[in-house]
Amino acid sequence: MRAALLLGLFLSLCGCATDGGHVSDSIDALMRDYTGEVPGAAVLVLRDGRALVRRGYGLAELEAGTPVTPQTHFRLASVSKQFTAAAVLLLVAEGKLGLDQPARRWLPALPPAADAITLRHLLTHTSGLLDYEDLMDPADARQVRDADVLRLLQAEDRTYFPPGSAYRYSNSGYALLALIVERASGRRYADFLRERIFVPLGMNAVAYEAGISDVPHRAYGYSERGGRWVRTDQSPTSAALGDGGIYASIDDLARWDAALYDERLLPRALLEQAFAPATPTDDPEVAYGFGWRITGETVWHSGETIGFRNVLVRYPQRRLTVAVLTNRDDPEPYALAKRIAALAIGARE
């Protein structure tokens, strides 16, 4: 019995479970374009809490020839939003925040047009807030942080629509949520994530702040220009944390995924709210919860920023999860992750 358990643990950790050989070979074929001396990818397939596939492809840093491994940290971009939502829900569970509290209770500098905006509106992209990217000075190359987002918005006494009346994806809303977490908890946002989510779950993830924190085993972002790969790792929006500033590995995401099946992090009732379709979106097949998109049996989120394209897709009823993290500007890997999931589902059936 002990030998069998040790074998199962070894197979889980190395990503070579006994029923996954054919799936692994098929995934290798799908990942051919990420293999070799090119910007790479990390792929995770979890089934029943075990790693069916856990491997890296290509390079995390072209200049140094550093390979991608399961420990390589990619900038998650908007996959970060589920962590911001979880931080809010942790404070809701403690009675320090309320989902229907006005955002201006915590951020009084917001203009009067934001009076009716609640935390629930921010979580579900129904606030109508202006996109901060459209308010930035294109001649100013300095990076915008979450506090700068508030400064940009407070000068604009208007919204796209009355709060709660429509859906429009909003990076502004999640940057403000990071500030609200700071004010309600009395902790810097990056510290709150580390102390309340990352460390308790055994994650090495980082809400990255240049000059303050370091990213272990860091992947750098690239874009193809004129037939060659050029490093495009940072942009003026790369320093905002609440909407997309977390770096994590597939090993981190495996620990995160496990915590979403039980109450080690959040009460079941709040987890169910996060995964519930709170609002329709601009895609008739997709609803939005709190930091999660909902499509059929899946809850998922993609992340796109300069030099990185990522996706995390969960099939909770099947106990199946697929993550694809890449350090290149194109292509978007959602369709690839769904193909990988189909292989895993087909192998079981």
Say which of 24, 26, 78, 80 is annotated catalytic.
78
Range 323-349 average pLDDT: 93
Tally of domains in the chain: 1
Whole-number pLDDT of residue 242: 98
For residue 297, being part of any structural domain is answered with yes
Per-residue confidence (pLDDT) for residue 349, from 0 to 100: 58
Which pLDDT score, from 0 to 100, does residue 20 have? 53
Domain of 297, in residue numbers: 16-62+70-348
1 belongs to a structural domain: no
Question: What's the CA gap between 125 and 128, in Å, rounded?
Answer: 7
Is 289 within the bounds of a domain? yes
Percent of the chain at pLDDT > 70 equals 93
Q: Residue 345: is its pLDDT beyond 70? A: yes
Q: Which residues contact 92 (CB under 8 A, 6 or more apart)?
A: 98, 99, 270
CATH number of the domain residue 210 falls in: 3.40.710.10
- Residue 273, pLDDT score: 97
Provide the Cα torsion 235, 169, 118, 200; round to 10°: -60
Report whether pLDDT(1) > 90.
no
Q: Does residue 128 lie in a domain region? A: yes
CA distance 321 to 323: 7
For the chain, percent of residues with pLDDT exceeding 90: 91
Q: What was the pLDDT predicted at 141?
A: 87
Domain presence at residue 296: yes
Residue range 281-320, pLDDT digits in tens: 999 999 999 999 999 999 999 999 999 999 999 999 999 9
Contact present, 249 and 42 (Cβ < 8 Å): yes
Please write the tens of the pLDDT for every residue from 23-80.
Answer: 889 999 999 999 999 999 999 999 999 999 999 999 999 999 999 999 999 999 999 9
Largest CA-CA distance found in the chain, in angstroms, rounded = 67
Per-residue pLDDT tens over the stretch 2-16: 333 333 333 343 433
Give the pLDDT mean for 140-161.
96
- 2-23 CB burial, b ≥16 within 10 A, e <16: eeeeeeeeebbeebbbeebeeb
Q: What is the pLDDT of residue 235?
A: 93
Token pair in block for residue 206: 């980082």
pTM for this entry: 0.93
Q: Is residue 318 part of a domain?
A: yes
Does the residue 33 lie in any domain? yes
- Looking at the domain assignment, is residue 49 inside a domain? yes
Q: Is the dihedral of CA 252, 326, 283, 297 positive or negative?
A: negative
Determine the distance from the C-alpha atom of residue 26 to the mean position of all C-alpha atoms in its chain, rounded to a whole number. Answer: 26
Cα 287 from Cα 295, distance rounded (Å): 7
| Whole-number pLDDT of residue 7 | 32
Encode pLDDT of 219-231 as tens digits.
999 999 999 999 9
pLDDT bin (cut points 50, 70, 90) of residue 21 is low
Residue 78 annotated as catalytic = yes
> Is 299:323 a contact under the CB 8 Å cutoff?
no
